[in-house]
Structure 1
Amino acid sequence: MAAGGPARVSHSVCMVSDFFYPNMGGVESHVYQLSQCLIERGHKVLVVTHAYGHRKGVRYLTNGLKVYYLPLKVMYNQSTATTLFHSLPLLRDIFVRERVTVVHAHSSFSAMAHDALFHAKTMGLRTVFTDHSLFGFADVSSVLTNKLLTVSLCDTNHIICVSYTSKENTVLRAALDPRIVSVIPNAVDPTDFTPDPSKRDDGTITIVVVSRLVYRKGIDLLSGIIPELCQKYPELHFLVGGEGPKRIILEEVRERYQLHDRVRLLGALEHQDVRNVLVQGHIFLNTSLTEAFCMAIVEAASCGLQVVSTKVGGIPEVLPENLIILCEPSVKSLCDGLEKAIAQLRSGTLPSPETVHNKVKTFYTWRNVAERTEKVYDRVANEVVLPMDERLDRLMSHCGPVTGYIFALFAVLNFLFLAFLRWMTPDSLIDVAIDATGPKGAWTKQCFGGKKGGIKEELPSS
């Protein structure tokens, strides 16, 4: 704290999402890295997610980050089933036990995140939501998700989006006031994604793809690009990391065109292995059909690769024009972009990987993300939590005559259920947890000598 400056307010933050380690992905990495940097800034942070296999109960990660793996039923794609009521006893106990002041939910796809927002508002806690995805407006899935988002966010204190395109999308989908929506981009730890100085030129050109092999990631486009460019450039190889239902399409392409020695399918990758795959290539290809931010292209650029990507969603905001070749989401446009990158590589006009890395590492840092998120917490801490009558008015006026009244009824039932739980077990009888992080985290230092990562369970690097 600067001399004479205002004292920094300490927050007790509960991060809630169905998506967290040991599951791997952008949301999981975001929650973990943001939590670590907030702990570094003196806040108390805990994570609530559902159980993953045998990983249940309470676990401690690096720097005393406490994670509750709750025994809730997983319904689809690592997201829990929800009734809006069954999770209240568990979440209420955690919020009271950990003296939570801000509930920060992540991802529109996470049912637990929506549950936590709903219960936190009933308990009078401040709420923040980070949207990591882009949605359409026409298909049935998008319509239902957008309606749920409208209900969840209409009385949420503040919303964070990872790009300006994502902000515009979220504001339209949930009919929000843009003044309560902030843009805070994702980041990458540059020390985890560095070029390989020992790399030698063997005359081949390797295009790397690291992605979930699903329709949304444009794998159908990739299946058209591979045979066309492999026929044109004999020295070209493809290295594909990731798993998903579209893998069979790539296997069929490899079989049909006899490209077994030029197209390698690595399958699912652990996060700590991604860098070792990236540095084997010269060009990184992203064929996504929709993206709010796209961490993968930042990681690839940090490793010194030339990035070729579809021009969709928030991607044009992520990297400057001299570090990325943007293309339309079509086979022809992406082939043209890749040929341009190949020509630059052959002519030696691309900057060195070390030069690119040194540029990228200044663009996005988790400490900057944490500082900006902290300002959001400071803002919502000074806001008044809506009393129940105003919350019901907001739901009924904002969410439509049918949905609004249904969820207003749910809010009343949730309030009565909470009153029953408080009668059965008053807040005063719930044991207060010892703080392992934040300004009162002396317990960590006493038990472990203040060593960084003293309380730690090994996880994939992030």
Structure 2
Amino acid sequence: MKILQIYELSPHDNVGTGGIEVAIMETSREFVALGHEVTILTGARDIPQEQIIDGVQIISIDFCSLMKYTWNGANLSLARQALFPLVVLFNRPDTYDIYHGHIYSSGLIANYLARRAGGVAVNTIHGSYYPIWSKLANPFAARFYRTGERILAPALAKLSDIQFHTGDYFAQQVLAWGASKQKVKTIHNGADIVRFSPSLSQIADSHLITSSHGAIDSSIPVILTARRLVKKNGIEYLIKAMQLVLKEKQCQLMIIGEGAEHAALEQLTHDLDLQDNVHFLGLIPHEQLPPYLALADIAVIPSLMEASSIFMLEAMAMEKPVIATNAGGLPEVLPQSTGILVEPMDEMGLADAILELLQCEEKRLQLGKKAREHVEVNYSWKAVAKQMEAEYMRLLARKKKTLENQGRNYPSLISKFAANIVFNLKWE
């Protein structure tokens, strides 16, 4: 099969820990290993270029520097999403069997290109903030984003041959909005179980991190989180929890990531007099994450909403005990036997869970081993790619049969999508 993955940000240009970029690159590597030809079509960071990484062709495109000026390594802007379809139209991709667009704009592009070429249109929704927009934005913006998701998600499910979800919580919402069960499937994210291996913990070297940041003492227990520094990821509650934890147990928090909340979070750290125990490490390329996880005693995902966190699965793969919030898709992939769930925005709950694990090494080890076993069986990227491959092949066979029987007489994408918008448009 020839597979085209479509997304506005490149997995190669993004220097941070963006989960969608990681998921696209990791599944693409696995598709190549399974014998398929894979191309990633993405917006350029600077100069448009073509390159091959691990057998995956990456084509970054631009038009009138629209992608160059909307690039942001820490965030996918609304402007970039809106302009990317225009850039694709002016670059005319080759013909493929599978057109796999990620999130909304790229999902529309995948449908348009698939209909032009007679290929299979696939859309992946990498989670949603729909349940918590009122906590993240002012009322007008919250209504705008909620209405946008309410229209686009079910419309894309109806347009696409299939819509994948990395969190079942939103898949069920899209079904409730009228999408067909035959068009919606949940496939959680995965982890590289070779690179993220518990054996790394035996050779962890804190000196590399100390020389770079001057603050890590491996003799003090390490709490680690790797998140974009935005409100929905709940870092402020983890910092507040640290104030409670440090009253009873000496430890340190390492925060990997960058984002709009960085300055406010650093200020909160100083206001609580935690600057000696909370370390902001900035953006760390994904391939450099394993040594940091190797040093961690506990991994924490304090999100207000999340799909199936790749960082959490990678921590589990390294036998690290995990504390996560009972939000979105996190409980879908973190059984009680492999970690601890607390309620979102509950610094007291986070603090109690951290203290429980810091004070009981036996429980940390037990949870870590169970977590590794769980990921090995269910959430390797190879297992994820095979699930997608099975759907690709089924849909491609069906598409070919339909073309043989009926020819290429498809309704136009614009008229069909407009009809779906009219049908689904509801202001809340």
Which range, TM-score by smaller chain?
0.7 to 0.9
Question: Does 2:62 correspond to 1:58?
Answer: no
Q: Aligned to 2:174, what secondary structure does the other structure show? A: helix
Does the 8 A contact of 2:111 with 2:413 survive in 1?
no
Question: Does 2:194 correspond to 1:178?
Answer: no
Greater shift after overlay, 292-301 or 190-199? 190-199
Q: Aligned to 1:244, what secondary structure does the other structure show? A: coil
Question: Does 2:230 correspond to 1:240?
Answer: no
Distance 1:86 1:239 in 2: 39
Scaled by the length of structure 1, the TM-score of the pair is 0.75
Provide the residue aligned with 1:194 in structure 2.
Answer: 197
Matches within 5 A, 1:5-24: 11-21=1-11, 22-23=13-14, 24=16
| Unaligned residue ranges in structure 1 (runs of 5+) | 1-10, 405-462
Matched residue type, 2:124: T
| Per-residue deviation, residues 299-350 of structure 1 (Å, max 9, x unmatched) | 11222221111100011111221221000011222222222222323x6663
Larger relative contact order (Cα-Cα within 8 Å, sequence gap ≥ 6) = 1
Q: Aligned to 1:47, what secondary structure does the other structure show? A: strand
Question: Does 2:319 correspond to 1:294?
Answer: no
Q: CA deviation at 1:400?
A: 1.7
From the superposition, tell whether residues 90 and 225 of structure 1 become closer, same or farther in structure 2 (CA, over 3 Å): same
Look at both structures and tell me which one has the larger radius of gyration over its CA atoms: 1
Matched residue type, 1:116: A
Distance 1:84 1:206 in 2: 43
Q: Aligned to 2:40, what secondary structure does the other structure show? A: strand
Does the 8 A contact of 1:284 with 1:297 survive in 2?
yes
Provide the residue aligned with 1:145 in structure 2.
Answer: 149
Does the 8 A contact of 1:50 with 1:80 survive in 2?
no
Distance 1:71 1:186 in 2: 29
Matched residue type, 1:387: N
Does the 8 A contact of 2:107 with 2:156 survive in 1?
no
Matched residue type, 2:122: V
Matched residue type, 1:81: A
From the superposition, tell whether residues 119 and 338 of structure 1 become closer, same or farther in structure 2 (CA, over 3 Å): same
Provide the residue aligned with 1:437 in structure 2.
Answer: none
Higher helix share: 2
Q: Aligned to 2:337, what secondary structure does the other structure show? A: helix
Q: Aligned to 1:127, what secondary structure does the other structure show? A: strand
Distance 1:44 1:317 in 2: 32
Matched residue type, 2:143: D
From the superposition, tell whether residues 118 and 172 of structure 1 become closer, same or farther in structure 2 (CA, over 3 Å): farther
Q: CA deviation at 1:198?
A: 4.2
Provide the residue aligned with 1:210 in structure 2.
Answer: 226
Identity of matched residues, %: 21
| Unaligned residue ranges in structure 2 (runs of 5+) | 132-141, 206-216
Question: Does 2:32 correspond to 1:36?
Answer: no
Q: CA deviation at 1:356?
A: 5.0
Distance 1:202 1:26 in 2: 27
Does the 8 A contact of 1:229 with 1:335 survive in 2?
yes
Q: Aligned to 2:130, what secondary structure does the other structure show? A: coil
| Per-residue deviation, residues 225-254 of structure 1 (Å, max 9, x unmatched) | 122222332x22111111112222332233
Q: Aligned to 1:90, what secondary structure does the other structure show? A: coil
Provide the residue aligned with 2:112 in structure 1.
Answer: 118
| Per-residue deviation, residues 407-441 of structure 1 (Å, max 9, x unmatched) | xxxxxxxxxxxxxxxxxxxxxxxxxxxxxxxxxxx
- Aligned to 2:288, which of 268, 273, 281? 273
Scaled by the length of structure 2, the TM-score of the pair is 0.80
How many residues end up aligned between the 2 structures?
A: 382
Does the 8 A contact of 1:194 with 1:302 survive in 2?
yes
Matched residue type, 1:156: S
Matches within 5 A, 1:24-423: 24=16, 25-54=18-47, 56-63=48-55, 65-72=56-63, 73-74=66-67, 75=70, 77-78=75-76, 79-82=80-83, 87-91=88-92, 94-95=93-94, 99-108=95-104, 111-136=105-130, 139-172=143-176, 175-195=178-198, 196-198=201-203, 204-233=220-249, 235-329=250-344, 330-345=346-361, 350-351=365-366, 356-381=371-396, 382-383=398-399, 384=402, 387-389=409-411, 394-395=416-417, 397-400=419-422
Distance 1:156 1:250 in 2: 40
Q: CA deviation at 1:143?
A: 1.1
Distance 2:281 2:6 in 1: 31
Distance 1:358 1:252 in 2: 39
From the superposition, tell whether residues 46 and 327 of structure 1 become closer, same or farther in structure 2 (CA, over 3 Å): same
Distance 1:223 1:163 in 2: 26
Q: CA deviation at 1:293?
A: 0.8
Q: Aligned to 2:129, what secondary structure does the other structure show? A: coil
Greater shift after overlay, 265-274 or 160-169? 160-169
